[in-house]
């Protein structure tokens, strides 16, 4: 149940290879925000035409680059959606989200995990214990105030497990 706006679009770039003896130009296009479906493949077809008409009249290495460009373009471009969507979140939020069970992962998105970490910080301002049932109830109650009802107690405990894993990872990397 990721953000429906994010699910509508993909972020792709394409490759262009122009090889006309003795010149060779290989570059990536700008990143395009494209509606899911056939549109990424149609755009890839357009960039492939440029490579087909201008990419095979040069050196052997240039032809290799032309085949690589065709392969990327025909498959709908290089998908960088995850990198673009993760850009606005801190490493902790991304780490926690990536270490959830599949069931919890499908119910959450990075914004919700970020919100959960903020609620957790608010909880820790007035409580000394963390990751217990009272902590879990506090998070669920605060999510309900925001009209977010899709997480259950086992889901929140899964988020706690990912938080513990992140804390342990941080501690191990600081000791090295």
DSSP for 107-149, please give it.
H--HHHHHHHHHHHHHHHHH-S--SSHHHHHHHHHHHHHTT--
pLDDT number for residue 56: 87
Is the domain of 119 the same as that of 71?
no
Question: Last residue of a domain, which of 61, 83, 105?
Answer: 83
pLDDT number for residue 36: 92
pLDDT number for residue 23: 86
pLDDT number for residue 42: 96
Is the domain of 123 the same as that of 97?
yes
Distances (CA, A) of 14 to 39, 73, 170: 13, 6, 37
- pLDDT tens for 5-16 read 667 899 999 999
Q: What percent of the chain is modeled with pLDDT above 70? A: 96
| Distance (Å, whole) CA 11 – CA 15 | 14
pLDDT number for residue 5: 61
Of 62 and 125, the one with more pLDDT: 125
Is the domain of 78 the same as that of 93?
no
Mean pLDDT across the stretch 93-97?
Answer: 91
pLDDT number for residue 1: 42
Mean pLDDT across the stretch 148-168?
Answer: 95
Of 34 and 175, the one with more pLDDT: 34
Question: Last residue of a domain, which of 54, 83, 112?
Answer: 83
- pLDDT tens for 30-43 read 999 999 999 999 99
Q: Which domain holds residue 100?
A: 88-175
Domain count, the chain: 2
Question: Last residue of a domain, which of 35, 55, 83?
Answer: 83
Is the domain of 31 the same as that of 73?
yes
């Amino acid at each position: 149940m990721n953000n429906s706006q994010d699910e509508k679009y993909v972020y792709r770039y394409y490759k262009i290879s122009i090889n006309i003896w003795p010149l060779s130009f290989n570059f990536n296009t700008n990143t395009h925000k494209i509606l899911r479906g056939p549109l990424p493949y149609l755009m890839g077809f357009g960039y492939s035409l440029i490579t087909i008409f201008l990419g095979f009249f040069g050196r052997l290495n240039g032809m290799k680059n032309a085949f690589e460009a065709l392969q990327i373009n025909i498959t709908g471009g290089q998908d960088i959606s995850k990198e673009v969507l993760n850009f606005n979140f801190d490493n902790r939020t991304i780490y926690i989200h990536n270490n959830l069970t599949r069931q919890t992962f499908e119910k959450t998105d990075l914004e919700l995990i970020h919100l959960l970490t903020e609620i957790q910080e608010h909880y820790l301002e007035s409580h000394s214990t963390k990751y217990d049932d009272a902590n879990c109830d506090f998070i669920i109650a605060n999510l309900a105030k925001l009209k977010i009802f899709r997480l259950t107690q086992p889901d929140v405990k899964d988020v706690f497990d990912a938080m513990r894993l992140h804390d342990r990872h941080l501690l191990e990397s600081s000791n090295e």
